[in-house]
Chain A
Amino acid sequence: MAGQTDGIQLKESAAAQLATARAAYVKEAGRGRAGTETARRYADQMDGVVQAVVEAACGCTDLPVAVCAVGGYGRRALCLHSDVDLLIVFDGTIDEREEAFVKGVLQPLWDLRLELGQHVREFADFAEPDLSNPEFLLSLLDLRYLAGSLPLYGRIALSAAGSHARASLDPLLTLVSERHARFNDTLYQLEPDIKQAPGGLRDISVIRHLHMLAPAAFKDAGDAGHGRIAGAEDFLLRIRSVLHVLGGRDVNLLTHDLQEKVADTLGCSGAHPHHRVESLMGEYFLRARAVTRALASAQRAVRPRTGSAVRRIGRQFEITEDGVQFAQPNRASQQPSLWVEAFRIALEHQCPVAESALSCIEQNVHRCGADDFVATEGDRLQLRRLFTPRAGLYERLSEMHDCGLLNRIFPEFAKVHCRVVRDFYHKYTVDEHTLLTIRNVESLLDPAAANRRRFGSILQELHAPELLTLALLFHDVGKWREADHAQESVRLTQSALDRLELPDDERATIEFLIREHLQMSQVAFRRDAEDPQVASRFAELVGNEEHLKLLCLLTFADVGAVSPETLTPWKEELLWRVYVDTYNRLTLGYADHLLEGDPAGLSVLIAGRPADISEHELVAFLEGLPRRYLTTFGLGAVYRHVRLARDIKPNQIHTFLENHDDVWELTLVTLDKPYLFSNVSGVLSYFGMDIHRGQAMTTPDGLVLDVFEFSDEEGFLKQNVAATTEISRMLEQVVAGSVDVSSLLKGRERSLLNRRRVRRPPVVHFDNEHSRKYTVLEIVADDAPGLLHRITRVLSAEGCDLHLALIATEGKSAIDVLHVTRAGRKLTETEQDSLERELKQVLEAGE
């Protein structure tokens, strides 16, 4: 009877004690002040409750027993509805009496409706660390005495700090990486879990654990970062306290609904609720970023040192185990171009930019303006090349963003810094969504991403992949305000494009991608992509396959960065189908759509023509050319072609050769004749040129316009002053029929073909559906010197006329699309079979 009375009294007293503690906590939380100190006080009050309960249960066991706090409770970071993590250890075998003790402790606590996380052990269990239970191992790092045998606690603490702690490091790092992966490895969540997400409370405890586990690694680190981490913890605990009070349970997800209430409770500034939320989330991201940086730095510090030597990169940089550092920090602090260079080196050497270099940039970046990073042609080129998709680009751009450099270089991007746009789909802030799109592009280069190889292959084919990344960087900057963000993004990007001084066609490509960045997902996911009108309008919009590839990848990256669940295999399939259908329309089906059917395009050309070109001359030149011609060539190129075509006579050829960086472009105009294309491409091969891409168009009047893009593989153009003249002369002789290309090439082809190693069976495919007038022949084969010459020679030998050609290379494959006829009509099946046999013989034999 007395025992029962004692039990009731205990319960009543514990309940009263807890109620007082909770009331105090709730009061502080309601004022937005329940941070670190309140959590500690609450933990201390909880200690009193637990100690009273333990004391009452002590008579149940004769064994020495220690009751300890572990986990968050152990480190006194206890919120209103946090789990109360207890460790009960007996110095002997657990029997019925001990079980009664455990029940005597836990039952009253359960009756108080506390969420308990209890671990019951015999001391013998501490002989070896339990590696199968990493969470328990880590909870011991916050071991704290509550009640019971102090000597036993001392022995437990010794084990926890010894072999158990030593065994904790690897599981700790693994758990961090697994937890971060659940959040897509980004802290910029629109609805963050303030405990588990990167930059949250869990990370703060990890930082402290790392310091505890490897103190030697931090002996030179100083205390500078501790205040920032303590500030972040206090801020996050204040948010958590409001969430717990509002939710009535262990709520840690700061949802859109709760953000307004939390912002008001914490007294965030702003006249409108939306502004107060922005203020709250702005501070949240700032704090969380400080935590993730401190964690990354701590993770690097505890990594076993490889002892590798410091590598010097030029006079200004060195690469240490921490990453790229400035060799002369004082000097580097004054030179913005060195900051960008540091990131370029980091990307090249696949390492991070060291924390010291990031801090140097962060402290000095406010003194620079956007123009300081593009002062010279070299600066602009370096900046542009920085955006080439490759492994580590997202990480480096994130570092640039975190230290404030990216916003300084592109203040247009700063407009969406931590910008929160609420909708049903997006999970991240606008700036982080943008950086994640770039990570998605980068992921396509990962050989492990086999399931996305088809999109990866498009990326490999891009002429200038950095245009895709630049377009992605700016595609959502217009979201800084509520309006048609695509148009606004184009408007805002103008100043950035001005500074980069990109060529007109590249600038137009970036503008196109930004302006139309929603169109492909609209067609793929919201329209009937199989409707010929929808498909045809979309093909017209993109205009050429380079734009299509860029837009497809941009869409892939953009949708995938909305949230990890958005780009499902189902959506990927829809996107891929639209890509394939449009690609086929652009490469196989373009021949029937002539420029005459594009009055708007024609009138632009006529209106903008230079004085030396009459309307009559222009219209006559364009007659019979496909509409694709205008989407492929800019105005300047068109007028140059008109001039080249002037006064052209049979057996003559007019050429124009120019180079852009390492790529040469040959434009030629002549009149059609058998073996023409084969002979021209043969001449380029003869001079050692590697043809990357090309176009050939023939008008019904027999005017031929060919454009070849190639690299000077053997340095012929570079090493010979008269090389361009020599190539032109050889072309003239070949067209005039005074030189036989096949015999010139024979010896060269044989020696080069013998060097070929990888051989994949060639693909030869005929299509009589896409075009009304032509048979479209697609060939995919291993690229080889003189390949184009050999293919087109077979066509001519088989009596075929080549009207249009699209030549492309993808890595080591050549992809040729040829529009042909025989005797003015499409090829019959018999003719196709014969041509296929001949082509395969040439492609497989190599000769």
Chain B
Amino acid sequence: MKLVKSIVRPHKVDDVRDALEKLSIAGMTVTDVRGHGRQKGHTAVYRGKEYSVSLLPKVEIEVVVPDNVVEDVIEAIMAAARTGEIGDGRVFVLPVEQSYNIRTGAKETS
């Protein structure tokens, strides 16, 4: 199993979710986050005053998926979240050692 963690633009969440649903990925965790990558924010001007916007709003989507669909999931997320502009986000893939269902107590296997 792998934990696929993607950081995407806020307005792309629905697209990513739809893409994952098409792959029958049932569960996901969505969190509002702020951060910056190479983009490193920018400056904005309001009423003549410049202020720096160093941490940009993003959304983190986490899904745990079986090894055999990891590539499809990554591809689906990238296609759904891409605009081609700087700031589209990142996808990270991490190994998952064990997984349990809290209600049933059952250990899940991929």
Contacts and interface: CB of A to CB of B under 8 A. Distances in A.
A570 interface: yes
B32 A571 contact: yes
Contact of A780 (B49, B50, B57): B49
B11 interface: yes
A574 B10 contact: yes
A768 to B, nearest CB: 12
A780 B45 CA distance: 13
Contacts of A778: 45, 47-48
Contacts of A739: none
B48 A780 contact: yes
Contacts of B47: 763, 778, 780, 815
A811 to B, nearest CB: 13
B46 interface: yes
A577 B45 CA distance: 10
Nearest to B85: A530
Interface string A333-345: 0000000000000
Nearest to A776: B48
Interface string B2-30: 00000001111010000000000000000
A733 B57 CA distance: 56
Contacts of A528: 9, 11-12, 83
Nearest to B33: A570
Chain A interface, DSSP helix/strand/loop, else mixed: mixed
A779 interface: yes
A765 B11 contact: no
A767 interface: yes
Contacts of A550: none
Given A528-B83, A574-B57, A580 B44 contact: yes
Given A528-B9, A528-B83, A573 B57 contact: yes
B45 A767 contact: yes
A583 B46 CA distance: 8
Contacts of B57: 570, 573-574
A764 interface: yes
Nearest to A525: B10
A834 interface: no
A155 interface: no
A756 B45 CA distance: 28
A616 interface: no
A764 B46 CA distance: 12
A760 to B, nearest CB: 11
Contacts of B90: none
Interface string A795-835: 00000000000000000000100000000000000000000
Contacts of B85: 530
A527 B12 CA distance: 8
Interface string A561-599: 000000010110110010011011000000000000000
B40 interface: no
A570 B44 contact: no
Contacts of B9: 528
Given A570-B32, A570-B34, A571-B32, A526 B48 contact: no
Interface in B36-95: 44-50, 53, 57, 83, 85
Contacts of A571: 32
Nearest to A766: B48
A583 B48 CA distance: 12
Interface in A712-754: none
B87 to A, nearest CB: 8
Nearest to B56: A573
A573 B33 CA distance: 11
A671 interface: no
Given A570-B34, A573-B57, A577-B44, A763 B10 contact: no
A281 B11 CA distance: 36
Interface string A83-100: 000000000000000000
Interface residues of B, number: 19
A529 to B, nearest CB: 7
Contacts of A780: 47-49
A571 B47 CA distance: 22
Contact of B48 (A530, A577, A765): A765
Contacts of B33: 570
A580 B12 CA distance: 22
A780 B10 CA distance: 33
B45 A584 contact: yes
Contacts of A779: 48
B11 A527 contact: yes
Given A528-B83, A571-B32, A574-B57, A764 B48 contact: yes
A568 B48 contact: no
Contacts of A815: 47
Query: Which residue of B9, B48, B83 has the most chain A CB atoms within 10 A of its CB atom?
Result: B48
B56 to A, nearest CB: 9
B48 A763 contact: yes
B85 to A, nearest CB: 8
Nearest to B31: A570
A369 B33 CA distance: 51
A601 to B, nearest CB: 28
A73 to B, nearest CB: 32
A763 B47 CA distance: 8
B58 to A, nearest CB: 9
B44 to A, nearest CB: 6
Interface in A532-580: 568, 570-571, 573-574, 577, 580
A527 B83 CA distance: 12
A740 to B, nearest CB: 31
Nearest to B59: A570
A323 to B, nearest CB: 41
Contacts of A763: 47-49
Interface in A776-793: 778-780
A584 B32 CA distance: 26
A573 B57 CA distance: 8
A526 B46 contact: no
Contacts of B14: 526
Contacts of B49: 763, 765, 780
A571 B32 CA distance: 9
A815 B48 CA distance: 9
B89 to A, nearest CB: 13
A580 B44 CA distance: 8
A568 B32 contact: yes
B11 A526 contact: yes
Nearest to B50: A765
Contacts of A765: 45, 48-50
Contacts of B34: 570, 573
A528 B9 CA distance: 8
A765 B51 CA distance: 13
Nearest to A588: B45
A617 B32 CA distance: 55
Contacts of B12: 528
B78 to A, nearest CB: 17
Contacts of A764: 48
Contacts of A767: 45
A736 B109 CA distance: 89
A765 B9 CA distance: 31
Contacts of A530: 85
A573 B51 CA distance: 13
Nearest to A457: B47
B17 to A, nearest CB: 12
A568 B10 CA distance: 14
A570 B59 CA distance: 10
A77 to B, nearest CB: 33
Nearest to B47: A780
B90 to A, nearest CB: 18
Contacts of B46: 580, 583-584
Nearest to A584: B45
B11 A529 contact: yes
Given A530-B85, A581-B44, A778-B47, 4 more contacts: A525-B11, A526-B14, A528-B12, A763-B48
12 contacts: A525-B10, A526-B14, A528-B12, A570-B57, A577-B53, A580-B44, A583-B46, A584-B45, A763-B49, A765-B48, A765-B49, A779-B48
